[in-house]
Amino acid sequence: MSLEFYLILKADELTDELADTVYEAGFDDSSFTMRSGKAAIWIRHREGEFKEVIRHALEEAQRGGLRVSHVEIENAVFA
């Protein structure tokens, strides 16, 4: 099973500056996109146990200075 989820950011638009921050934070293997009116990082194809992959992505975002609102998995939302 391929792991796929979104980190929903506390940003309302995709800007070049935010894109640079996303990729510099280590998400160069992910997609920077919009989801439900918010900037988001779509993460997929990372190896490991699901909870640990999410935890690592959240830590990666925090270290990179990104403000994450929540994580979405398909139609599920985790605040």
Domains in the chain: ranges and CATH? 4-78 (3.30.70)
Tell whether the model's pLDDT for residue 70 goes beyond 70: yes
- What gap in Å lies between CA 34 and CA 63, rounded to an integer? 22
Backbone angles phi, psi at 72, to 5 degrees: -120, 135
Q: Residues 53-77: what's their mean pLDDT?
A: 90
CA 12 to mean position of chain CA atoms: 14
Of the pLDDT bands very low, low, confident and very high (cuts 50, 70, 90), residue 2 is low
> 49 is written with which tokens?
């146990």
